């Protein structure tokens, strides 16, 4: 399942986890959200969400290897 990020506030909708607090079951894809579902943090519509990039952290050794 894919994560989607709100471009306004950065809230991440995780399809695998859903949004149980707002009645969205785990496993619900962004495209299957009901009409009227909005970002629970800022209220922007689901159609505005973008595919989120997985954040990666690098250790000091990784940075040194890249230099």
Domain ranges of the chain: 3-66
- For residue 51, what are the β-bridge partners? 4
Place of tokens 């995780």: 14
How do residues 3-41 score in pLDDT, each as one tens digit?
999 999 999 999 999 999 999 999 999 999 998 999 999
- CATH 3.40.50.720, applies to 3-66: no
Compute φ and ψ for 62, nearest 5 degrees.
-65, -40
Integer CA distances (angstroms), 12 to 55, 59, 60, 61, 65, in order: 12, 24, 28, 29, 31
- Position 16 scores a pLDDT of 95
SS3 5: strand
Q: What is the pTM of this model?
A: 0.71
* Residue 8, both tokens: 């306004």
Position 51 confidence tier, pLDDT thresholds 50, 70, 90: confident
């Amino acid at each position: 399942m894919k994560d989607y990020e709100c471009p306004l506030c950065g809230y991440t909708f995780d399809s695998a986890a859903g949004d149980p607090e707002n009645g969205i079951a785990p496993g619900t894809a962004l495209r299957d959200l009901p009409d009227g579902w909005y970002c629970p943090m800022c209220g922007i519509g689901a159609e505005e969400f973008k595919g989120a990039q997985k954040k990666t952290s690098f250790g000091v050794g990784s940075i040194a290897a890249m230099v």
